[in-house]
């Protein structure tokens, strides 16, 4: 098995707690060769964590002449993703860029064109595509047991006040760009082909920055289910991550449990429309009612064996390694992410927020 030499740009929460952990968890596939971070204490911690032989740098430009790096992981702050990735492409590096990839679809196209021009690999870190609950939900929908899907509600919510740099518009902050790429990627996979009609509402509630911390996005289209994506920091009660309504049943899910129930039409009593007032056997006015035989099922993730986040991140890195070394299918493509960013861009266009930071 070919081991890939990796450079990680940034040792903040993402570079340190997500990408760094993923690389260390697969030593047979990835070798941490270089770490970049402008903060000296983070470089010192990285040297201790990854081994004294690792090279550490204060500026990513110091690695641009290296020829031994197979993959650069761009975990720099969100607003630096595009310019840094373009520079890396120009110097011949394959790049895995963290989300949000960009602010606009036009920026994504610049990246796509630059990757093609320089004949390099372009990868985007959308690990939620590999979440175990999402895999199970897709399987259930595709089985047809829920019938025609009428509405999909996705709720990436909680209650929190936030005051870090990711609350600032100038840094590409806000709930839609910070958290939004996860549910939006899933939503667009469930929407399928075509581009949706979009209606979006944003608000600033508990944030100390000038970006939004409440988002409601409605996606719709002819022959498609209505998809309701909510990304709120002011929801004190959050009973579900997914709630799906179908013509033959429904589904509710959290990150580690999926419950669904459905009926089989052939097991139901035959009914027909009655326009006259309904009466029961005693001649009293009544309401139409039938006993539906429900088939109920539950799926659970073994959280003692697999952590939800670690599992999906590991699967993304497994997919990426196989693609680079064996030429297997790239599951998350730049064109898919361009569609996602186009939706996010339209949401911001519909909700221009004043800037005060």
Backbone dihedral angles phi then psi of residue 273, each to the nearest 5 degrees? -65, 135
Which phi-psi region, left, alpha or beta, contains residue 201 (left: φ > 0; alpha: ψ -120 to 50)? beta
Q: Which of 251, 249, 227 is nearest to 240 (CA)?
A: 251
Separation of alpha carbons 299 and 256, rounded Å: 8
139 CB neighbour count, 10 Å cutoff: 11
pLDDT recorded at residue 147: 98
Backbone dihedral angles phi then psi of residue 24, each to the nearest 5 degrees? -70, -30
355 CB neighbour count, 10 Å cutoff: 11
Separation of alpha carbons 122 and 166, rounded Å: 24
Separation of alpha carbons 301 and 173, rounded Å: 32
Backbone dihedral angles phi then psi of residue 135, each to the nearest 5 degrees? -60, -45
Q: Which residue has the tokens 């940034």?
A: 10
Burial label for 98, CB within 10 Å (0-12, 13-18, 19+), is buried
Q: What is the DSSP letter of 105?
A: H
Separation of alpha carbons 243 and 282, rounded Å: 40
Burial label for 218, CB within 10 Å (0-12, 13-18, 19+), is middle
| Domains of the chain by start residue, with CATH | 4-125 (3.40.50.720), 129-311+338-350 (3.30.360.10)
Separation of alpha carbons 347 and 355, rounded Å: 17
DSSP helix/strand/coil, 135 = helix
Per-residue pLDDT of the chain (357 residues; tens, 9 = 90+): 899 999 999 999 999 999 999 999 999 999 999 999 999 999 999 999 998 789 999 999 999 999 999 999 999 999 999 999 999 999 999 999 999 999 999 999 999 999 999 999 999 999 999 999 999 999 999 999 999 999 999 999 999 999 999 999 999 999 999 999 999 999 999 999 999 999 999 999 999 999 999 999 999 999 999 999 999 999 999 889 999 999 999 999 999 999 999 999 999 999 999 999 999 889 899 999 889 999 999 999 987 766 777 889 999 999 999 999 999 999 999 999 999 999 999 999 999 999 988
Q: Each residue of 109-136: b (16+ CB within 10 Å) or e?
A: bbbbebbeebebbbbbbbbbbbbbbbeb
DSSP helix/strand/coil, 342 = helix
pLDDT recorded at residue 305: 65
Q: Across the beta sheet with 55-57, what order do the strands follow?
A: 55-57, 30-36, 4-9, 71-74, 95-97, 122-124
pLDDT recorded at residue 289: 86
The pTM of this model reads 0.94
């Amino acid at each position: 098995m070919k081991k890939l030499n990796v450079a990680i740009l940034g040792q903040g929460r993402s570079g340190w707690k997500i990408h760094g952990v993923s690389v260390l968890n697969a030593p047979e596939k990835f070798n941490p060769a270089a770490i970049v971070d402008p903060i000296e204490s983070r470089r010192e911690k990285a040297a201790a964590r990854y081994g004294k032989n690792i090279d550490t740098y204060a500026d990513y430009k110091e690695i641009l002449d290296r020829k031994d790096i197979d993959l650069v992981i761009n975990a720099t702050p969100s607003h630096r993703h595009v310019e840094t990735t373009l520079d890396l492409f120009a110097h011949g590096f394959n790049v895995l860029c963290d989300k949000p990839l960009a602010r606009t679809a036009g920026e994504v196209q610049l990246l796509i064109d630059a990757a093609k021009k320089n004949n390099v690999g372009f990868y985007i870190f959308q690990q939620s595509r590999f979440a175990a609950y999402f895999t199970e939900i897709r399987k259930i929908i595709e089985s047809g047991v829920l019938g025609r899907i009428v509405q999909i509600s996705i709720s990436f919510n909680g209650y929190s006040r936030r005051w870090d740099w990711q609350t600032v518009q100038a840094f590409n902050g806000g709930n839609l760009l910070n958290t939004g790429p996860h549910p939006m990627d899933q939503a667009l996979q469930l929407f399928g082909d075509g581009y949706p009609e979009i209606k979006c509402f944003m608000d600033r509630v508990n944030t100390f920055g000038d970006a939004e911390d409440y988002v409601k996005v409605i996606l719709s289209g002819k022959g498609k289910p209505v998809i309701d994506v909510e990304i709120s920091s002011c929801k004190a009660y959050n009973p579900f991550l997914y709630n799906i309504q179908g013509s033959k049943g429904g589904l509710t899910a959290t990150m580690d449990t999926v419950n669904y129930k459905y009926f089989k039409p052939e097991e139901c009593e035959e009914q027909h429309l009655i326009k006259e007032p309904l009466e029961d056997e005693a001649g009293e006015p009544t309401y139409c009612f039938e006993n539906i035989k429900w088939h109920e099922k539950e799926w659970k993730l073994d959280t003692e064996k697999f952590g939800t986040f670690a599992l999906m991140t590991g699967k993304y890195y497994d997919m990426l390694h196989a693609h680079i070394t064996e030429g297997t299918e790239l599951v998350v493509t730049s064109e898919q992410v361009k569609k996602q960013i186009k939706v996010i861009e339209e949401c911001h266009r519909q909700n221009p927020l004043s800037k005060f930071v």
